[in-house]
Amino acid sequence: MARTPQPISGFPEWLPAVRLEELRWIDAIRATFERYGYGSIETPAVEELDSLLAKGETDKEIYTVTRLQGDADASEARLGLHYDLTVPLARYVAQHYNELEFPFKRHQVQKVWRGERPQEGRYREFLQCDIDVIDRDELPLEYDVEMPVVLHEALTGLGIPPFRIQLSNRKLLHGFLQELGIPNPVPVARILDKVDKVGLDGIHSMLLQHGLKDPIARRCMTLGSIKTDDESFADQVRELASSTTPNEMLVKGIDELAFVIRSVNDLRPGAAVVDLSIARGLDYYTGTVYEMRLADFEGLGSICSGGRYDDLAGSFINRRLPGTGISLGLTRLFAKLVAEGLIPSERSSPADVLVVLPSEERRADALAAAAALRERGLNVDSYLKPAKLGKQLQYASRLGIPHVWFPPFEDGRPHEVKDMASGDQAEADPASWRPA
Amino acid sequence: MARTPQPISGFPEWLPAVRLEELRWIDAIRATFERYGYGSIETPAVEELDSLLAKGETDKEIYTVTRLQGDADASEARLGLHYDLTVPLARYVAQHYNELEFPFKRHQVQKVWRGERPQEGRYREFLQCDIDVIDRDELPLEYDVEMPVVLHEALTGLGIPPFRIQLSNRKLLHGFLQELGIPNPVPVARILDKVDKVGLDGIHSMLLQHGLKDPIARRCMTLGSIKTDDESFADQVRELASSTTPNEMLVKGIDELAFVIRSVNDLRPGAAVVDLSIARGLDYYTGTVYEMRLADFEGLGSICSGGRYDDLAGSFINRRLPGTGISLGLTRLFAKLVAEGLIPSERSSPADVLVVLPSEERRADALAAAAALRERGLNVDSYLKPAKLGKQLQYASRLGIPHVWFPPFEDGRPHEVKDMASGDQAEADPASWRPA
């Protein structure tokens, strides 16, 4: 073939230095999930197409999977790559219902695939990091509080520019729309959700086109402009609804959202904000909804989504299984920071030390030194070709390996270790040396 | 829909307890890879079909990927799911050639997909754990030694029943077949490689069918029966070849294999064994080859494969880029041990502690205790519904959470912690308590 391969559009791939940092993120995020008691599950990359098409806003994004030289095997299910981790979770809970403990808390860190046209922030393959809790019959609102608290903690310390998790509530939105005399709120909520894509003017004309009168459309848009750090959104909503006896759904939505923002503020001040522009296009959310944006990169859109769903697993099993969850679009966030030069890339090796091989005669000493250092848990790369020392030092330097180890040049002489940052070189014992 | 979903044949999925153990394996394996300086890369799940079909023994196992409602977009590449991690590595090295340091060492832990008919030990989706080293122009044989050493160390301590890595050498095999007057050794090597599937009698008749005379066929089979712990295979091979001046390839193969077994025995006694029945079907191997079997479960077949390839990345780029690598079929091994009841499944939560919520009034104390314990790095599940205590204890017990934390029932009284294994309950301070 011998033509240089080209990247496949929409399928990101990192060089080792960037991947090292991505792994550090994944490890840190998982550690936080586990610190809150969320165990891992993994589901297959594929689901039956019927499952994938049962929920979700669109079917055009699905990749189907077919054997290149498949038999005409009628028993073979039609399969598609999962486009999120929520539908697989619902299927998993339904399938393993009798083997799971409830409340069922799980985290899931896996690739998902969508056949979208690739553009900035949109990938065809990307990594999602999800937590969800599902319980039987009833799930306390306190779990809606836990989602943003855990996710915010998971992302803290990774060097991400300022971000806050945005909270809204589907009951509030639907109740408000009912208050305005809009009997079927879902299509209107979907329009409001497109503000990122089409802007306020776009929303306005879509609402008019949908048949709303201008003053009604403007009140919808005013609702979407409400953003508060605390419960003060509640009075603004009540005033805008201008009803002395608001409907039950609106009251419940306001109460839930007030509880969630108050509780998040108690547990993790500043982690979240109420933002009523958040609607979430997917129609399975029934209460709290989440999104997240980077303050410095609003144009990137939401890098996190989630919310309360009361009937998702129920589409696979005849049980009421309410759940709540939050999902981080890690690739979208991470790739943006890579593009902005905000991801460090000095190191591309996990090694703490490179043991050089000055000459063939010193091979046994070099291997023994490497083994002694590894024995004590250090990550050690060992140069196995007796190349020129300059070349070996350059290799360490280019990979960002912070220390280079020299086995003794003559028997009986001590080992030496060089600190690549300072250039200092000193005697060291492989049985006791530790990096500073 | 409301019909219970069924598993998709060939796509394994674990319950949380088993997944917890699988994650422990993956973490331990990765830690060993990193301890030897192998950094991580990930490649997309898909490659261009042309790349996938360029190498490898068969094309019928490939899953193609198509957008369900794709445009008739001629520019869209034909894509397939990768069926191993070696072809993607070769493509990666060719594509990023100018941005990588050499020798390029990487590990890769990813799912791969093959459209095979599912059966025991054969999955359509499975996890592979690979390490490879690729260098320019020349790669010392010492890296062929490092592969089984690292893999053996990675698998030690996981509770796997006895295993040894089997070594052979393609030069030895091809040179030997040439010595017998077989001009094109590849098809014969492929027949010998099928001993797992068709048995010795099967091999025998296939060799005869291929046109070999019976005594020649028998000598091929005798070669395949040679198994030694050390270099003593060399004399047996020379005797069987019964040539006073064996061809260069045979001599080189014997020397290489003798070097590798001797060196592995030096570094990690007992990790490997010479087994000349190993041929490896894939035709890109050019020297050392590896397989691995569990002594107690021979019928499972090989759970590890790899070897030296001198021209794999070269099929994408006009450079000589020799490499060597080893690949663990984690799912095949792990799933077998699950089926045999050899994987512990007492714990299905990562939590060290469950903080119970005895009543709504104690919620703030319970949350504060959980936060204090997490602050110190403990994994803490927090029961957020004020259910009956018995139910909460049962939850901890069923998930295998080893400790249950009771926030004080009245202000000023101490916290208590219960050891679920012994049943002991004692006062404890969330700011200082540690599990035993």
Phi then psi for residue B368, to 5 deg, are -65, -40
pLDDT at B74: 47
Determine, for residues B34 and A379 on separate chains, whether the beta-carbon distance falls below 8 Å. Answer: yes
Q: What local confidence, expressed as pLDDT, does residue A229 receive?
A: 97
- Could you read off the pLDDT of B89-119 as tens digits, one per residue? 999 999 999 999 999 999 999 999 998 887 7
At residue A376, does pLDDT exceed 60? yes
Q: Does the pLDDT of residue B185 top 90, yes or no?
A: no
Of chain A, the percentage scoring pLDDT greater than 90 comes to 78
Contacts of B318 in chain A (CB under 8 A): 2
Q: Which residues of A touch B111 (CB under 8 A)?
A: 45
Q: Is B195 on the interface with A (CB under 8 A)?
A: no
In this predicted structure, what is the pLDDT of residue B60? 59
- Stretch A418-435: mean pLDDT, rounded? 95
Side-chain-side CA neighbours of B168 within 13 Å: the count stands at 27
The tens digit of pLDDT for each residue in A87-120 reads 999 999 999 999 999 999 999 999 999 988 877 7
What is the SS3 assignment for chain A?
CCCCCCCCCCCCCCCHHHHHHHHHHHHHHHHHHHHCCCEECCCCCEEEHHHHHHCCCCCCCCEEEEECCCCCCCCCCCEEECCCCHHHHHHHHHHCHHHCCCCEEEEEEEEEECCCCCECCECCEEEEEEEEEECCCCCCCHHHHHHHHHHHHHHCCCCCCCEEEEEEEHHHHHHHHHHCCCCCHHHHHHHHCCHHHHHHHHHHHHHHHCCCCHHHHHHHHHHHCCEECCCCHHHHHHHHHCCCCCCHHHHHHHHHHHHHHHHHHHHCCCCEEEECCCCCCCCCEEEEEEEEEEHHHHHHCCCEEEEEECCCHHHCCCCCCCEEEEEEEHHHHHHHHHHCCCCCCCCCCCCCEEECCCCHHHHHHHHHHHHHHHHCCCCEEECCCCCCHHHHHHHHHHHCCCEEEECCCCCCCCEEEEECCCCCEEEECCCCCCCC
Q: Which residues contact B413 (CB under 8 A, 6 or more apart)?
A: none
Looking at chain B, the whole-number percentage of residues with pLDDT higher than 90 is 78
Least confident among A63-72, A394-403, B314-323: A63-72
Q: Do B140 and A316 touch (CB under 8 A)?
A: no
Of B46, B60, B138, the CB nearest to A68: B60
- The mean-pLDDT minimum among A56-65, A389-398, B252-261, B328-337 falls in A56-65
Is the pLDDT confidence value at A1 over 50? Answer: no
How confident is the prediction for chain B on average, in pLDDT? 92
Beta partners for residue A272, in sequence order: A165
Which residues on B lie below 8 Å from A18 (Cβ)? none
- Mark yes or no for CB contact A37/B349 under 8 Å: yes
Which of A362, A378, A384 should one mutate to test binding to chain B, selecting the residue with the greatest count of B CBs within 10 A?
A384
Question: Given a cut of 80, is residue A76 above it in pLDDT?
Answer: no
Say if B381 is an interface residue toward chain A (CB within 8 Å): yes
pTM: 0.95
Supply the pLDDT for residue B242.
82
CA nearest to A385, candidates B143, B106, B308: B143
A414 and B CB contact within 8 Å: no
Which amino acid would we find at residue A22? E
**CB–CB contact A384 B13 (8 Å):** no
Q: What ipTM was estimated for this complex? A: 0.95
pLDDT digits (tens, 9 = 90+) for B1-37: 457 888 999 999 999 999 999 999 999 999 999 999 9
Residues of B in contact with A64 (CB under 8 A): 65-68
Taking contacts as CB-CB distances below 8 angstroms, the residues of chain A near B140 are: 384-385
